[in-house]
Amino acid sequence: GAVVSQHPSRVICKSGTSVKIECRSLDFQATTMFWYRQFPKQSLMLMATSNEGSKATYEQGVEKDKFLINHASLTLSTLTVTSAHPEDSSFYICSARDFENTGELFFGEGSRLTVL
Partner 1 sequence: AQKITQTQPGMFVQEKEAVTLDCTYDTSDPSYGLFWYKQPSSGEMIFLIYQGSYDQQNATEGRYSLNFQKARKSANLVISASQLGDSAMYFCAMRDITGANNLFFGTGTRLTVIP
Q: Name the residue type at position 103.
A: G
Which residues of this chain interact with partner 1, rule CB under 8 A? 1, 9-10, 34, 36, 38, 41-46, 49, 59, 91, 93, 95, 104-107, 109-110, 112
Question: Distance (Å, rounded) from C-alpha 9 to C-alpha 29?
Answer: 22
Q: Which of residues 86 and 103 has its CB atom nearest to partner 1 in the complex?
A: 103
Q: Which of residues 16 and 63 has its CB atom nearest to partner 1 in the complex?
A: 63
Q: Smallest distance from the beta carbon of 111 to partner 1, in angstroms?
A: 9
Q: Smallest distance from the beta carbon of 4 to partner 1, in angstroms?
A: 9
Q: Which of residues 29 and 91 has its CB atom nearest to partner 1 in the complex?
A: 91
DSSP 31: S
What contacts 24+ positions apart, CB below 8 Å, involve 42-51?
44/93, 47/79, 50/77
DSSP 112: E
